[in-house]
Chains A and B, each alone.
Chain A
Amino acid sequence: MKTLLVAIAGLATAGAALAQVDTTRPMVTGHGNVAARPQKVIVTNQTPTASQVAATSSDQTLTLEKFVVTGSLIQRPAKAAKNR
């Protein structure tokens, strides 16, 4: 019975967490809205403030890298390559 109650409470908590997600705001899988994790998410190329450093020292920080997407294309047939 205790197990069942815990399971139900767990499901209710999970359901509440999902319902709280605002899908019109940026999200991170496993965490929900970025805004719901103040000072737990930083973007690179920004110098963290002293309060951010203090806040993140006790918890893992998520980092959004600046993505550099290269033109790593599939090898094309030799004939097509000659035309370039």
Chain B
Amino acid sequence: MLAALLGLAADTARADLEVYAPSGMPTGRTVTALQLWQEFDHSLPPDVWVSPLENSRYEVISAKWMRREFLPALKHEMKMLWKEGVPQDNSAGNCNGFALVCRLMLSLSAMDAHACAPAAATVIVRQEKAFGGLSATMEDHCVAFVLTDEGPWIIEVQSGAYTNIGDYPNRGTIKLVSVH
């Protein structure tokens, strides 16, 4: 009985964070590292730094699957993290941390589907214009890049809002793209 009570106490004291990655990611459409670089080179303004691309091929993500499965799961994940009271300032729970969670979820979905590494990246941008629920903070901010079969998307991971990169209001102030 005591052991059970102690076990219960231990359970309630723990606050494990869980990441849920949706399954069923459609596979089969890929790009080479060179093609992914060309995508960045064409869709981003000049002078944006792009990290080395270590894989030979990357999975292009289905936009339909993103809308139906992934983005709802991402929104749910963000709600769960907020519920856990993850501190924001000077902590892992900042915009960069949330963008990494988004990419982790995509990677797990890709692993589950036995797919190539997702054609996705973390993007550092100066938030000069409002987007996806975040106002123009005039600070450096972190969002996610995903190459879908409908074109390259920018996702504000904390709200699940997305847009084609051509329509992204802060496209001109993107500074760095990190794929790995």
Q: Does B associate with A?
A: yes
Residues of A bordering B, CB below 8 Å: 18, 21, 23-31, 34, 62, 64-65, 67-76, 80, 83-84
- In the complex, the answer to whether A25 meets B52 with C-beta atoms within 8 Å is yes
Give the residues in chain B near A84, CB-CB below 8 Å. Answer: 85, 87
Shortest distance in angstroms between A20's beta carbon and chain B's nearest beta carbon? 11
- In the complex, the answer to whether B49 meets A28 with C-beta atoms within 8 Å is yes
* Cβ-Cβ contact count across A and B, 8 Å cutoff: 102
Q: Counting CB contacts under 8 A, is B91 at the interface?
A: yes
Shortest distance in angstroms between B127's beta carbon and chain A's nearest beta carbon? 7
Shortest distance in angstroms between B140's beta carbon and chain A's nearest beta carbon? 5
Give the residues in chain B near A27, CB-CB below 8 Å. Answer: 37, 40-41, 49-50, 52
- In the complex, the answer to whether A71 meets B34 with C-beta atoms within 8 Å is no
The size of the chain B interface, using a CB distance under 8 A, is 46
A18 CA to B37 CA, complexed, in Å: 9
Shortest distance in angstroms between A21's beta carbon and chain B's nearest beta carbon? 6
Give the residues in chain B near A65, CB-CB below 8 Å. Answer: 175
Known contacts A69-B124, A71-B94; A29 and B133 CB within 8 A of each other: no
Interface residues of B in 16-62 (CB under 8 A from A): 33-34, 36-38, 40-41, 44-54
Q: Counting CB contacts under 8 A, is B105 at the interface?
A: no
A76 CA to B88 CA, complexed, in Å: 12
CB-based nearest B residue for A30: B46
Give the residues in chain B near A28, CB-CB below 8 Å. Answer: 46-50
Other contacts beyond A23-B34, A71-B94: 9, CB < 8 A: A25-B52, A29-B40, A29-B46, A29-B50, A62-B47, A72-B95, A73-B94, A74-B158, A74-B159
- Pick from B44, B45, B52, B139: contact of A70, CB under 8 Å: B139
Give the residues in chain B near A31, CB-CB below 8 Å. Answer: 46-47
Shortest distance in angstroms between A34's beta carbon and chain B's nearest beta carbon? 8
A12 CA to B123 CA, complexed, in Å: 31
Can you list 5 residue pairs at the A/B interface with Cβ under 8 Å?
Answer: A23-B37, A26-B52, A71-B93, A74-B132, A84-B87
- In the complex, the answer to whether A70 meets B50 with C-beta atoms within 8 Å is no
- Pick from A24, A30, A73: contact of B52, CB under 8 Å: A24
